[in-house]
Amino acid sequence: MTWPDENHGGVDGVMHPSEVYWAIFTLPSNGKALGFTRAETCAIYENFQQIKHRKCIGPEKIEEQFNCILSEHRNPSELSAAAARSSFALLLLNVLSAYQAAEKNDTVERERKLSPRIQIAASWVKDRIGQDTSVPELAKVVGLRPSHFRQQFKKETGLSPIEYFARLRMREAKRLLVVTDLSIVEIAMDLGFSSSQHFATAFRKMAGFTPRTFRKANSELVDRSYEI
């Protein structure tokens, strides 16, 4: 979801392969729309205004409602306008519900604390973001067997240690591309890549475009909190 004058993109600036359904709508803050009463329209508007997320996982019925709208447009009848309005009203409510669920889940996730050992490992990685890190090395830091550490880290963070490190390093790369004038070669060296080509290849694999393209045209897609 984007508001006027906002850029759009995927999680961490990554646009994963997908089928795109696109809808642009204006929801009046003090009027009626799509058959809702004035009070209902205002409530929907205010709830959308409170959403902080710009992306979330939606239910399958959102796709079904989009397809219903498209079907009415492609095969019009005297009731098509009414059917499309009804489908769009349901679509709007389901999108709102999906975003509200994402907000709630995010709050729960942030409230969940990592265990002391995993906190130490995560901090250790962040402090050495420009250095190569291995699972055995991290396991030794926190006093666990590598297999146990790998399992516990994935359970608590949702990512493997290597995935966590790669994502953290990529977020730092995006931050440096946006807020500094460092060259791509300098950023690659600072983050521990063997060469600027290695960095560009890894960046493109995760983000879908090159560091140069990201810096030039997509800087507003970066999550400026830069935390995992």
The per-residue pLDDT for range 73-104, each reduced to its tens digit, is 899 999 999 998 898 888 888 888 888 887 77
Is residue 168 a contact partner of residue 129, using CB atoms and an 8 Å limit?
Answer: yes
Q: Look-up: residue for tokens 């962040």?
A: 126
Same domain, yes or no: 29 and 77 = yes
Choose the final residue of a domain: 111, 133, 168: 111
Same domain, yes or no: 102 and 178 = no
- Per-residue pLDDT at 211: 87
Rounded Cα gap, residues 129 and 29, in angstroms: 46
Q: String of b and e for 11-33 (b: at least 16 CB within 10 Å)?
A: eebeeeeeeeeeeeeeeeeeeeb
**122 assigned to some structural domain:** yes
**27 assigned to some structural domain:** yes
Rounded Cα gap, residues 128 and 136, in angstroms: 15
**25 assigned to some structural domain:** yes
Q: Single out the residue of 228, 218, 151, 227 nearest to residue 9, CA to CA.
A: 218
Same domain, yes or no: 50 and 127 = no
**53 assigned to some structural domain:** yes
**80 assigned to some structural domain:** yes
Pure H helices in 13-160: 38-49, 60-74, 80-111, 116-127, 135-142, 146-157
Percentage of the residues of the chain whose pLDDT score is greater than 90? 19
Residue 203 structure tokens? 């960046």
Long-range contacts: 18-27, Cβ < 8 Å, 24+? 21/62, 21/63, 21/66, 23/66, 23/88, 23/91, 25/88, 25/92, 27/92
> Rounded to two decimals, what is the model's pTM?
0.50
Same domain, yes or no: 92 and 125 = no
Same domain, yes or no: 61 and 126 = no
Same domain, yes or no: 67 and 153 = no
CATH of the domain at 206: 1.10.10.60
Same domain, yes or no: 89 and 124 = no
Same domain, yes or no: 139 and 99 = no
Q: Single out the residue of 185, 219, 190, 182 nearest to residue 200, CA to CA.
A: 185
Same domain, yes or no: 167 and 214 = yes
Choose the final residue of a domain: 71, 93, 111: 111
Same domain, yes or no: 147 and 216 = yes
Bigger pLDDT: 224 vs 60: 60
User: Which range of residues forms the domain containing residue 68?
Assistant: 11-111
Same domain, yes or no: 90 and 39 = yes
Choose the final residue of a domain: 51, 76, 111: 111
Number of structural domains in the chain: 2
**212 assigned to some structural domain:** yes
**3 assigned to some structural domain:** no
Long-range contacts: 80-89, Cβ < 8 Å, 24+? 85/34, 85/35, 86/35, 88/23, 88/25, 88/34, 89/34, 89/35, 89/36
Condensed to tens digits (0 to 9), the pLDDT of residues 1-27 reads 777 766 666 555 555 566 777 777 776
List all residues 6 or more positions away from 75 whose beta carbon is below 8 Å from its beta carbon: none
Same domain, yes or no: 132 and 105 = no
In this predicted structure, the answer to whether residue 111 has a pLDDT above a threshold of 50 is: no
Q: Which range, 41-55, 180-194, 213-227, has the best average confidence (pLDDT)?
A: 180-194
